[in-house]
Structure 1
Amino acid sequence: MEGRYETDFWKDATTRKMWDEIVPGERRPTLPYVLTREAIELYCRAVGETNPLYLDEAYANRSVYRGLIAPPSIHILLMFACTPADDWMRTPGTINAGQSWSYNIPARPGDTITLEARALDKFIRRERLFVVHDNVFFNQHGEVICSGRGHTIRPR
């Protein structure tokens, strides 16, 4: 998995949509992503998560989930894994101004995750550029894993 993610966040900056090009209601292009056990383990290690439901297969098999699952906050990793490098949400200088998430079912190793994402609205308040957006993650069976709405402040 290492090397799969770009670390030069400015690399594709000139191809990203600017404020005037963001169209409320327009779906953002997204990519399917196969969630691996390795990705879950690396994510858990990065955020200090030690719950055995995410890391210990024997424990997880005895649980109500009958197998390993990903932590709900994995949507952070999925947000970037499911969007191309030129996505406007990846623009350096973007500020998270708030978000709300609902979690339906856990993601699991081996799931093919897809994302439906769009801007819902954009407005200017106190000379700052805001975008309201929603994101819905699905597994390969079309089941909603989680969905969220957020507000971001866009760089000028």
Structure 2
Amino acid sequence: MSNKHLIGLKGESFTFHVTLEHIQAFARAIGDASPLYFDEEYAKTTAYGRITAPPTYPIAIGAAGGAIDLQLDQRRMLHGEQAFIYERPIVPGDVLTCDAVVSDVYEKQGKNGTMEFIVLDTHMYDAEGRLVVTSRTNIVYRAAQQHV
């Protein structure tokens, strides 16, 4: 079932403009009322020194573009894991250039046979070209059902 040929496959680069309003709408949508996302005066007293985006905010950025067409049966795909690897917080005013790539494909034995894992990394760079965050999605690709 190996799909190792997918490694290196890229999505189309896209740009995302981070706004205070979008950060706050995202925070409200996930039910996080932390003043770090809403109150500039409070945010100035934190280690960040200003309003920042919630840690899971890159989900909203990734939904804005750059999808990779894996050409696989989507009925066999499961979202397995999500991770965010930060170099610095995302803040209002950031203009992020985003590049998605299949960074790895590997297999593990499960109760019902071999499962394949496809790792998608979306790297998000600021206007100076510095990496801000990598959003890592791990997709579980289940084996096709064998009909006897």
For residue 125 of structure 2, what is the amino acid of its counterpart? F
Contact 2:105–2:117 (Cα < 8 Å) also in 1 = yes
Determine what percentage of the aligned residue pairs are the same residue: 26
Counterpart residue number, 1:9:
none
Cα–Cα, structure 1 residues 58 and 119, in superposed 2: closer, same or farther, change >3 Å?
same
Over the aligned positions, Cα root-mean-square deviation in angstroms equals 2.8
Q: Does 1:63 align with 2:50?
A: no
Q: Offset at 1:128?
A: 5.5
Q: Does 1:29 align with 2:12?
A: yes
Question: Whose strand fraction is larger, Structure 1's or Structure 2's?
Answer: 2
Cα–Cα, structure 1 residues 121 and 104, in superposed 2: closer, same or farther, change >3 Å?
closer
Structure 2, unmatched stretches of 5+, are none
Q: Offset at 1:153?
A: 3.0
Structure 2 matches for 1:1-150, cutoff 5 A?
23-83=6-66, 87-88=68-69, 94-122=77-105, 126=113, 130-150=117-137
Cα–Cα, structure 1 residues 43 and 147, in superposed 2: closer, same or farther, change >3 Å?
same
Question: Whose helix fraction is larger, Structure 1's or Structure 2's?
Answer: 1
* Secondary structure of 1:45's aligned partner: helix
Q: Offset at 1:28?
A: 1.4
Structure 1, unmatched stretches of 5+, are 1-19
Q: Offset at 1:64?
A: 3.1
Q: Give the structure-1-normalised TM-score.
A: 0.69
For residue 40 of structure 1, what is the amino acid of its counterpart? I
Counterpart residue number, 1:10:
none
Contact 1:135–1:149 (Cα < 8 Å) also in 2 = yes
Higher radius of gyration, 1 or 2: 2
Q: Offset at 1:144?
A: 2.0
Q: Offset at 1:92?
A: 6.3
What is the CA–CA distance in structure 2 between the aligned matches of 1:37 and 1:69, rounded to whole Å?
9
| Equivalences, count | 134
Q: Offset at 1:68?
A: 1.3
